[in-house]
Every structure is written in structure tokens, then in C-alpha cells.
């Protein structure tokens, strides 16, 4: 009986030892499996309004610029300015000699005086006959009507000739070339005695430079991120290290079909005469998205021939999510896709990642 008890104890002991060995083996295998999982750094998504700056080339242009022509044909008699001269609005730049225009004005004035005399006589005659017609049989009705017709015809003739006088007077004024706005004569294209008129010969080029336009082409992908009244800074080669601050003044909001960009302008105060129209400017422009988006390290993007993906981690397993990329700025890239805030994204993804792949994660050090 005692031998049976000893045998049973040995069997129980063997079973316990075997179970412990199996549990130990399973634990060891699980530990080895856990150690074999690759480790990836992850970051939690957080949507935000993207703000960024870009350096773009710009051109400083005159606020106003015009090429002046003579409206009337004639010969240049006097020239009062030359290239580089500053002029005020209305200042006389040149005078054109055109005797036939002056003669036309004098002729129109002479004709006006003649018709005025006729009108004076016909008005008096009509008044006299009309008063006389109040007495029966003194004046016939037909005579009154004829006097009235002459008076009306002379009145109409006077209006016509006065219009001719006004036109001749305005035409005579065109002989004097004046500055349409205050600025600088950037070019003188005539000499005394030159025959000018219409578009036969340009006279001067005039630019306003106390105020300039800074013109910049904004690439299409950034056009919607340029906010009204946004700030910018620019520098020019003539003043190394000096930055000029400006505010957005005008935005065409129409993309040039060839350049795929829209033109914007910043008004520049140049009252101190520091800047020159025609200068190239290096412009630093502030942009801001109209809506929120996610930004991840560029290394998070898995690129294929047809699509872009990010690797999302859920319960230790990889999910490849298709995304559309946006602006790249400060070593991060904007993404859009089926994602939510606080989703875990692998920061250094590669093509070896597959859907359902088990991995270990560690938070990225974002310091």
C-alpha cells in the first residue's frame, strides 16, 4: 500500500514539474517574441492652423508711371525739364508751336462775335414786331413768325459757334504739355524743333517714386493662405541688412495660366527717397491657412508610385492610411486624410511597414 502511495506522489510531482517547464518555455517564447518586435517612434496628431513664411522675389515699381505724347500736331518750341528733374502736378514741361490751331481759335471767336450781332438784331426785331402785333392790323402774323424764326435760328447758330470756340480753346491748351502728377522725369525723348503729334513721337516718361508698388508673384498652392492685410518684410541690395515692413494692399486672386501664380502688391512709402523703382526685392511673406490641418515630420510619409501613406498605430498594430500632402515648412509636412486628433503616427516610416504588422512604440523626443 505504501509503495502505491509513493508511486502516486512521483506521478503528481512529474506532472507539476512538466507544467512548470511548459509555462516557463511559453513565457520564454513570449518574451523572445516581444523582444523581436521592431520599435518605432510615434507622435500624437494635433490639428492646428498652419502659419508659415516664405521668401519670394519681388519688383519695386513706380506707383504711377506714364509716357506723355502731344495730342496736337506741331513743332516743339520750349522744353523746360530734363531727365531726373522732379516736377509738380500741373507744372509746364514743354510748349508746342501750332499756328493753325491758334488761328482756328481766333476764327471761331470772330464768328462768335458776328453771330452775336445778328442775334442782337433779330432779338430786337422779334420783340418789336411781337409788341406791335398787339394792335390789330399793325403787323401781319406771318411777319411775327418770320422774325421769331430768325431769332431762333440765330440763337442756335450762336450755341453751335460757342461749342466750336470751346473746342478750339481746349485744343489750343493742348499745346502746353503739363505734368499729370508729381514725380520724376525718367526720360526726355524730344529736342526743340521736333515734329510731334498723336503717337508720332513720345515726349517724356514720368514716374511717381515717393510711393512705390512692391509686386510679388504668389505660387498657386500658397495663394489661399495669404490673408488680407497680412504683413511682409523685404530687403534690397542697396541696403544690406536693412528690412522694410509693408502691408498687403492688393491681391489679384486670379492665377496666371502660364506661371500658375497670382500677383499681389504692397504699397511702399518712399518719402525719404531711399528706394529706387526697378530694384529687385527679397520679400519675406507671412501666410496662414484658412482652416486647420495636421503637420507631421516629412519622414512620416511613405511614398509609392501612386499614393502617399502614413503609418497609424492602433493597439500595437500598423494601419497604413492614404493621405494627401500640402505645404512643407520647418521640416514638417501638412497632411489630409482619414485621421483624427491624438492618432499615433510613426515618425520615421519606411516601405517595410505593412497593415496589421505588430510593433513596439516609443514617444518621440520633440525637444
233 in the same domain as 167: no
Q: Domain check: are 321 and 283 in the same one?
A: no
Domain limit, last residue, from 229, 257, 290: 290
Domain of 317? Answer: 39-49+292-363
222, 267: one domain: yes
Q: HSE-up of 313 (CA within 13 Å, CB side)?
A: 24
Provide the grid cell at 46: 494635433
Q: Is 229 inside a domain boundary?
A: yes
Q: Tell me which of 290, 314, 340 is where a domain ends.
A: 290
CATH code for the domain of 296 = 2.40.420.20
Which helix H or strand E contains 308, and what residues bound it?
strand 308-314
Residue 242 counted as domain residue: yes
User: What pLDDT sits at residue 132?
Assistant: 72
Helix extents (H) in the chain: 2-36, 99-132, 141-173, 220-223
Residue after which a domain boundary falls, among 244, 265, 290? 290
According to DSSP, the β-strands at 360-363 and 39-44 are: parallel
* 210 CB-side CA count, 13 A: 8
> All 3 cell numbers of residue 129?
414786331
Q: Is residue 354 part of a domain?
A: yes
Taking alpha carbons only, the member of 248, 246, 228 closest to residue 236 is: 246
How many domains does the chain contain in total?
Answer: 3
Question: What was the pLDDT predicted at 224?
Answer: 86
Structural domain contains residue 158: yes
Distances, alpha carbon 40 to alpha carbons 294, 310, 343, 352, in Å: 20, 13, 15, 12
Phi, psi of 144 (to 5 degrees): -65, -45
pLDDT at 101: 78
pLDDT at 236: 94
pLDDT recorded at residue 233: 95
Kindly state whether residue 84 falls inside one of the protein's structural domains: no
For each of the chain's 367 residues, which pLDDT tens digit applies?
545 555 555 556 556 555 555 545 455 444 545 567 888 889 999 988 888 899 999 999 999 999 999 888 889 999 999 999 999 999 999 999 888 877 777 787 888 888 888 878 888 877 877 777 777 666 677 777 787 888 788 788 878 888 888 877 778 888 899 999 999 999 999 999 888 886 778 999 999 999 999 999 999 888 888 989 889 999 999 898 899 999 999 998 888 888 889 999 999 999 998 999 999 999 999 998 888 889 999 889 998 888 999 999 998 899 999 999 988 888 889 899 999 999 999 988 888 888 889 888 888 765 5
The pTM of this model reads 0.67
Do the beta carbons of residue 245 and residue 233 sit within 8 Å?
Answer: yes
Q: What is the pLDDT of residue 30?
A: 46
Could you tell me which of 70, 68, 69 has the C-alpha nearest to residue 171?
70
Amino acid at each position: 500500500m505504501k509503495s502505491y502511495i509513493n508511486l502516486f506522489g512521483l506521478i503528481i510531482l512529474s506532472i507539476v514539474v512538466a507544467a512548470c517547464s511548459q509555462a516557463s518555455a511559453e513565457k520564454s517564447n513570449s518574451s523572445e517574441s516581444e523582444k523581436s518586435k521592431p520599435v518605432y517612434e510615434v507622435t500624437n496628431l494635433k490639428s492646428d492652423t498652419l502659419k508659415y513664411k516664405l521668401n519670394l522675389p519681388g519688383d519695386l515699381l513706380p506707383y504711377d508711371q506714364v509716357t506723355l505724347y502731344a495730342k496736337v500736331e506741331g513743332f516743339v518750341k520750349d522744353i523746360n525739364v530734363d531727365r531726373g528733374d522732379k516736377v509738380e502736378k500741373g507744372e509746364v514741361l514743354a510748349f508746342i508751336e501750332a499756328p493753325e490751331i491758334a488761328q482756328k481759335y481766333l476764327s471761331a471767336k470772330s464768328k462768335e462775335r458776328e453771330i452775336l450781332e445778328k442775334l442782337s438784331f433779330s432779338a430786337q426785331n422779334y420783340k418789336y414786331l411781337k409788341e406791335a402785333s398787339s394792335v390789330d392790323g399793325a403787323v401781319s402774323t406771318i411777319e411775327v413768325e418770320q422774325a421769331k424764326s430768325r431769332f431762333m435760328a440765330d440763337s442756335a447758330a450762336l450755341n453751335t459757334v460757342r461749342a466750336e470756340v470751346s473746342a478750339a480753346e481746349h485744343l489750343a491748351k493742348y499745346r502746353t504739355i503739363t505734368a499729370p502728377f508729381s514725380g520724376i522725369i525718367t526720360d526726355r525723348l524730344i529736342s526743340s524743333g521736333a515734329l510731334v503729334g498723336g503717337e508720332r513721337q513720345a515726349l517724356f516718361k514720368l514716374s511717381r517714386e515717393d510711393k512705390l508698388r512692391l509686386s510679388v508673384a504668389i505660387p498657386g498652392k500658397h495663394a489661399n493662405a495669404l490673408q488680407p492685410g497680412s504683413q511682409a518684410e523685404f530687403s534690397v541690395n542697396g541696403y544690406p541688412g536693412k528690412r522694410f515692413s509693408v502691408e498687403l494692399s492688393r491681391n489679384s486672386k486670379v492665377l496666371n495660366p502660364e506661371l500658375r501664380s497670382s500677383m499681389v502688391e504692397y504699397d511702399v512709402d518712399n518719402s525719404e527717397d531711399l528706394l529706387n523703382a526697378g530694384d529687385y526685392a527679397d520679400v519675406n511673406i507671412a501666410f496662414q491657412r484658412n482652416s486647420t490641418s495636421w503637420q507631421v515630420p516629412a519622414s512620416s510619409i511613405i511614398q509609392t508610385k501612386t499614393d502617399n501613406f502614413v503609418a497609424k498605430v492602433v493597439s500595437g498594430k500598423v494601419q497604413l492610411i492614404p493621405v494627401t500632402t500640402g505645404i512643407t515648412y520647418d521640416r514638417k509636412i501638412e497632411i489630409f486624410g482619414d485621421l483624427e486628433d491624438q492618432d499615433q503616427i510613426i515618425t520615421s516610416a519606411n516601405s517595410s511597414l505593412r497593415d496589421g504588422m505588430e510593433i513596439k512604440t516609443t514617444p518621440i523626443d520633440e525637444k
